[in-house]
Amino acid sequence: MPIRPENRARYPAEWPLISLWVRVSAGWTCEWCPARQGEPHPITRSRVVLTVAHIHDPAPENVDPRNLAALCQRCHLNHDRRHHLAVQAANRRMKFGGRDLFCDAA
Ligand SMILES: [Zn+2]
């Protein structure tokens, strides 16, 4: 996933090298599926561009190797979906005075 502009300063200065190291260590293959860098994805057929995901702790500062994985776009998006849904729910609660529109009773 592209780094969000508001999070860019939270990544360590060495992030480009760390990201490269993770992808090289994975053999330029997604760690969660057989997709390989630059080749058509086995499911989506779109060209694979490996990215590095924070798989346990989403904090950009946490670059512990156990927290990072080389993932294809499909696996990265699927992994981030849960986090995105949680952020969207939190934003809805903030927007509507702390009440969750879908879980709080009238
Ligand atoms: Zn994958």
Q: How far is the CA of 72 from the centre of ligand 1 (A)?
A: 4
Task: Give residue 56 CA to ligand 1 midpoint distance, Å.
Answer: 17
Question: Which pLDDT score, from 0 to 100, does residue 106 have?
Answer: 47
104 has pLDDT over 60: no
Q: Scanning the structure block, which residue is given the tokens 């879980």?
A: 103
Average pLDDT over the chain, rounded to an integer: 89
Residue 103: what pLDDT? 58
| Percent of the chain residues past pLDDT 70, beyond the cut | 91
In the predicted structure, residue 105 carries a pLDDT above the cut 70: no
7 has a pLDDT exceeding 60: yes
Q: How far is the CA of 71 from the centre of ligand 1 (A)?
A: 5
- Among the ranges given (35-39, 79-83, 91-95, 101-105), the one the predictor scored with the smallest mean pLDDT: 101-105
Please write the tens of the pLDDT for every residue from 41-52: 999 999 999 999
- The alpha carbon of 103 and the centre of ligand 1 are apart by a number of angstroms equal to 33
Specify the DSSP element, H or E, that contains 71: strand 68-71
CA distance 30 to 55: 13
Ligand 1 center from residue 76 Cα (angstroms): 7
DSSP 67: G
- Please give the distance of CA 58 from its chain centroid, rounded to a whole number: 8
Backbone angles phi, psi at 71, to 5 degrees: -130, 150
- State the average pLDDT over residues 28-50: 97
Domain ranges for the chain: 5-95
Residues with C-beta atoms within 5 A of ion ligand 1 = 30, 32-33, 35, 72, 75
Identify the H or E element spanning 22.
Answer: helix 15-25
